[in-house]
Amino acid sequence: MEESLVAHARELLDANRYLTLGTVSPGGQPWTTPVYFSWGPDWEFYWMSTIDARHSQNLAARPAVSVTVFDSTVPAYQGRAVYAVGEAREVPPDALDGVLASYPGPPSRGGGAVSPDEVTGDAPWRMYQAAAAELWVLCPREPRQGCPLHDIAQDHRAQVF
């Protein structure tokens, strides 16, 4: 595992607030949606959604997900992104304390604290977790220059794990 790519991925995840979540309906139709997220050290992604959101319903039937975190603040042709695939699930009530202690991440990311009562029982919200099985980054490079790791002068992804 290239440590500079790991550091780059962690920096991007720390700096951004939203991920694009890709799910698939029971009938095979793709669906993407932005969600505010937090992430954990073992490459888990966390978000809150309503039970009746289309992506939540899709996850109940098919747990496979794709995730993209893209830094839209950088200039054109200087893309910075993290891509992952894995499986998602609703966080069970007995695991919420550990997740909610760190959600929504550091104060610099905004958001507010969430209590277990807001994501259990009759509440319309649930906390979800996606565990990345594979993760890539868009290799960092200057526009129209080769990436220093691979000497490729076009956008390309490098697998972190």
CATH number at residue 50: 2.30.110.10
Q: Which helix (H) or strand (E) holds 54?
A: helix 54-61
Q: What domain count does the chain have? A: 1
pLDDT the model gives residue 56: 98
pLDDT the model gives residue 3: 86
Q: List the pLDDT tens digit at each of the 161 positions of the chain.
A: 588 889 999 999 998 999 999 999 999 999 999 999 999 989 999 999 999 999 999 999 999 999 999 988 877 767 789 999 999 999 999 999 888 888 887 777 777 788 999 999 999 999 999 999 999 998 776 666 777 777 777 677 888 99
Cis peptide before 104 (omega within 30 of 0): yes
pLDDT the model gives residue 87: 98
Q: Is 135 helix (H, G, I), strand (E, B) or coil?
A: strand
pLDDT the model gives residue 152: 72
d(CA 20, CA 69): 6
Best CA proximity match to 123, nearest among 67, 52, 54: 52
Contact 119, 126 (CB under 8 A): yes
Residue the block writes with tokens 């919420």: 96
Residue the block writes with tokens 């054109």: 76
Q: Which residues contact 155 (CB under 8 A, 6 or more apart)?
A: 79, 138, 139
Range of the domain at 147: 3-159
